[in-house]
Amino acid sequence: MWISVDLAAMDSTEDRRTCRLALEDGTVFSGRTFGFCTDGATSGGEVVFNTAMCGYQEALTDPSYSGQILTMTPTEVGNYGIADEDVESAAVAVKGFVVREAIDEPSNHRARAGLGEWLAKAGVIGLCGIDTRALVRILRTKGALRGVLFVGDAKSDADLVAMARALPSMAGQNLAGCASPTSGSTWSEGLGEWTLRGQPRAGRTFRVVALDCGAKRNIYRNLAERGCDVEVVPHDLSAAEIRARRPDGLFVSNGPGDPAAVEQTIATLREIAGEVPTFGICLGHQLLALALGAKTWKLKFGHRGANQPVRNLLTGRVEITSQNHGFCVDEESLRAAGGEPTHVHLNDGTLAGFRHTTKPVFSVQYHPEASPGPHDSAYLFDCFVSMMESRRPVTAADMEAAQRALAAV
């Protein structure tokens, strides 16, 4: 049995084709397409939601969304168009995009294209004219669901629901291999004039090897801003190849999919993490925890948005953070493996960061580069630099000093 929800009447654009989103629970949302709109076009993936009020371009190009259909909760999306400076990777990462109302004519002097035009060139289906509040309520109640987007009327609702149910679960999927580069490169671009600057270190330049599992560009900009020479390498680079580069620090990036399935990277980190100061973000946080011997588990609907509250347990300060993940590290197993929690998510009490008690290793579940989002957590990049300077575990004093310096900027 399936339920059909048709709220497309609000959309007044006559030339948009019918588009539907069918969920594995039997719900079908009917609206209009924007972006790639060829009749019969189909795309499937895990349906998730992001509560940020802006930042759709950064979200759509975040490789962590690979394999997922993204919906955003603001009423209108597309108002400020697409700007070259705001992409987080070389391509649109999502399998589809769902909004309440898509704006075709952006108002922004930096825009080089409209949202629909940009998605069309990328071959990504957009669905508009549905009640995204109803969709988000379903996802919050039942958890992230598999779904299929379909353009046109050639298939029945029942067919589309069956297609959604046939999709693979996100659990068990190693998508980092698809999002990771196949060869190495260097990164030197800093934050520039549009973003809060970091705290560059005078004198020494630190050589950082970055295991790229699907990284956002603003992470590398933050490292470069702080005097780091960043060498970006594939996620499956061996420990021996990392050692041969003689880095001052090792960075493990964000990325898509189930962390437990990224076995080769976990094996590499088990061998080398802490041999040099090591910092992980999001998927990198999960991979470091797994390398130590901890466990991960899948959240019901994940944390995705730019207003997620986190408490730093070492300093007592609360940070408003930007997050995008569907898996979490089990705190009890982390403690047993020698990790110490440093941050906790205040909405649900889940682990949001840890450090190793004897090795220079630390990581956070969220995104301190905050693109988009608040800059409360940018101090963590300064903590990484301090750890490379001292080659010892990060301390509460390190975090306190970095937070005070950030507040003074």
pLDDT of residue 192: 77
The percent of residues above 90 in pLDDT, for the chain, comes to 88
- Mean pLDDT, the chain, rounded, equals 93
Chain centroid to CA 61: 9
Tell me the pLDDT band of 14, cut-offs 50, 70 and 90: very low
Tell me the pLDDT band of 229, cut-offs 50, 70 and 90: very high
| Residue 152 predicted with pLDDT over 60 | yes
Q: 3-166: which CATH topology?
A: Glucose Oxidase; domain 1 (3.50.30)
CATH numeric code, 176-408: 3.40.50.880
In the chain, where the domains are located: 3-166, 176-408
Chain centroid to CA 295: 20
Tell me the pLDDT band of 203, cut-offs 50, 70 and 90: low
Query: What average pLDDT does this structure show over 151-161?
Result: 97
Give yes or no on whether 3-166 and 176-408 have one common fold.
no
Predicted confidence (pLDDT) per residue in 60-112, tens digit:
999 999 999 999 999 999 999 999 999 999 999 999 999 999 998 999 999 99
Least confident of 33-47, 161-175, 192-206, 332-346: 192-206
Name which of 350, 358, 326, 262 is nearest 64 in CA terms.
326
Active-site residues, by number, are: 282, 367, 369
Residue with tokens 């903590």: 383
Query: What average pLDDT does this structure show over 363-373?
Result: 94
**Reduced 3-state DSSP string for the chain:** CCEEEECHHHCCCCCCCEEEEEECCCEEEEEEEEECCCCCCEEEEEEEEECCCCCHHHHHCCHHHCCEEEEECCCEECCCCECHHHCCCCCCCCCEEECCEECCCCCCCCCCECHHHHHHHHCCEEEECCCHHHHHHHHHHHCCEEEEEEECCCCCHHHHHHHHHHCCCCCCCCCHHHHCCCCCEEECCCCCCCCCCCCCCCCCCEEEEEEECCCCHHHHHHHHHCCEEEEEEECCCCHHHHHHCCCCEEEECCCCCCHHHCHHHHHHHHHHECCECEEEECHHHHHHHHHHCCCEEEEEEEEEEEEEEEEECCCCCEEEEEEEEEEEECHHHHHHCCEEEEEEECCCCCEEEEEECCCCEEEECCECCCCCCCCCCCHHHHHHHHHHHHCCCCCHHHHHHHHHHHHHC
pLDDT of residue 199: 52
pLDDT of residue 194: 47
Do the beta carbons of residue 150 and residue 41 sit within 8 Å?
Answer: yes
